[in-house]
Amino acid sequence: MDTILETKNLRVEFKAQGSRQGKKIAVNDLNLKVYAGEVFGFLGPNGAGKTTTMNVLLGFVNATAGDAFLFGVNVREPIARQRIGYLPELTYYYKFLTAEELLRFYARIFRIPSAETEKRIDELLKLVELEHARKRPIKTYSKGMQQRVGLAQALINDPDLLILDEPTSGLDPLGRMKVREIIQRLKNEGKTVFFSSHELGEVETVCDRVAIINQGQLKVEGRVADLVEQYQANLEMIFLKIIGYDVQIPMAPGPSATTLREQHTPKMQQTTALHS
């Protein structure tokens, strides 16, 4: 199977702000491989190093050590980004442009011929259900519409790899469902999707494999089904356990509590209490 995305002993250090420690390790010896056609969930709590890893993959930040490759090309080369699409978290696109002007602008960067550009704009605006608003300035769009126009720009070059940073962040349930449908559709078309999300239910639904990182280190990597089988719990419980939370569910008044493994049984629908 072709490796689309790869990191080798990736390490990113930053100068620690407001402390005398000198530097903070954001990503520590991260080794990842994402294969063609799979949907890969990149999970971790806030500050775990997900966005930093994505920033290295996209060439925004240089790695302190190690390497990252897209399609076998080192990410330091701009050409590595020719075949990818990227949707950042909460971006406000050029407000004075309309959706079709924005897509035309990005298509021009990829040197897509005009006839092909117009065809793709029509298809993408239909896909993200923004045909009715194609001639309206983006400043008039709702948050969900802005996120969908963001998804359309990420797809303008018909990318083989999509990198999505919390694509459903801040969206209402309907918006989240639409984004999830689009990811599912891309998966069916054979695209590779690498995305981070805090919506673990959604990750469980759409991802083939996941990696969980915490404090810059890879904690777990594997197929979703295998992890669920191994830990006998859903992805959310696995995630909480891996990042160091002890999940306990009060069964009845009193001090007794169930463990993570017990919680996964169907009859346990009670409120979970998390203790760090």
Please give the residue ranges that form the binding site for another protein (CB under 8 A). 55, 58-61, 78-79, 81-82, 84, 86-88, 90-97, 101, 105-106, 108-111, 150, 153-154, 157, 163
Distance CA 58, CA 51 (A): 10
> Least separation, in Å, of the C-beta of 153 and another protein?
6
Distance CA 255, CA 161 (A): 49
> Least separation, in Å, of the C-beta of 24 and another protein?
14
> Least separation, in Å, of the C-beta of 229 and another protein?
36
Give one DSSP letter per residue of 55-75, joined into a string: HHHTTSS--SEEEEEETTEET
> Least separation, in Å, of the C-beta of 247 and another protein?
33
Exposure class string for 93-106: b at 16+ Cβ within 10 A, else e: beeebbbbebbbeb
Q: Which is nearer to another protein, 94 or 273 (CB)?
A: 94
CA torsion through residues 44, 47, 49, 51, sign: positive
Q: Which is nearer to another protein, 153 or 263 (CB)?
A: 153
Q: Which is nearer to another protein, 149 or 260 (CB)?
A: 149
Place of tokens 């259900």: 129
> Least separation, in Å, of the C-beta of 86 and another protein?
4
Q: Which is nearer to another protein, 70 or 183 (CB)?
A: 70
Within 8 A by CB and 6+ apart from 251, the residues are: 257, 258, 270
Q: Which is nearer to another protein, 111 or 275 (CB)?
A: 111
